Amino acid sequence: MAADTGSYIKHHLTNWSVSVGEGSFWTLHVDTLGWSIFLGLIFLLTFRSVAKKATTGVPGKLQCAVEMIVEFVDKSVKETFHGKNSLIAPLSLTIFVWILLMNAMDWVPVDLIPTIAQAIGGAMGVDPEHVYIKSVPTTDMNMTFALSLGVFFLIIFYSIKIKGLGGFVKELTLQPFNHPAFIPVNFILESVTLLARPVSLALRLFGNLYAGELIFILIATIGLFQLPVHFLWAAFHLLVIPLQAFIFMMLTIVYLSLAHEDH
């Protein structure tokens, strides 16, 4: 029984992977790419449709929901970001909604999508035991690091653009101790602080969602009594899922605001 439970958990935590080229160490997680692109398209098409059909009269429920999200993100940017950059608000909206949608896949029953995938694989002549699929992209560290590295590159880009290359170098070498003798110490401290930003962004999102998904899988192994426990944990996730999207968005705004400080 323990062996069956272990293989069940391992199967649910394994990505659908495809190696790129013979003997290549590059491996694509097809399920992570597929679900993230699919959910990104849902976000873009939904918001585009609402924008095209927006009316000044009494808004529909969908338009009202979209307007609430846009106003919430816009208010967060205005209160936190102290520079001038028209990219920050759209970027923050994209990060918040996209991560929220990816996190929300955690509410889908853990056996539903894998069972459908195994049925399709079996119909195509593939052994169902060799069909793997994970439907929550943010439980894949590759996805969370891709998001955080994108933010990190923007931090570096705007730090150099606003401060200049010399100003950026001085920021790394003359803080917090403004004396030439402390340049090596300053560089180590500031480099660690800078590199910790994408790492903390990625690991925080991954850790919370991976742990949540693992608990859903463990709940599914208890059999007949799983439904009450499942609904209790799902109710708790009503807070966790949007909170993690909000934290990622707010930290992105804070980091980019710091990058725009030119003093």
Q: How far is CA 181 from the centre of its chain?
A: 41
Residues in the chain: 263
**Facing residues of 17 across strands?**
29
The reply to whether omega before 90 is within 30° of 0 (cis) is no
- Give CA–CA dist 69/142, Å, rounded: 27
Catalytic residues: 200, 204, 208
CB 248 within 8 A of CB 99: yes
Structure tokens at 197: 């930003």
pLDDT tens over the chain, length 263 residues? 445 778 888 888 888 888 876 666 788 899 999 999 999 999 999 999 998 887 777 778 888 999 999 999 999 999 999 888 889 999 999 999 999 999 999 888 888 888 898 888 888 888 878 888 999 999 999 999 999 999 999 999 999 998 888 888 888 888 778 878 878 888 899 899 999 999 999 999 999 999 989 888 888 888 667 777 878 888 888 889 999 999 999 999 999 998 887 76
Of 116, 142, 136, the residue nearest 245 (C-alpha):
136
| Residue located via tokens 């694509």 | 28
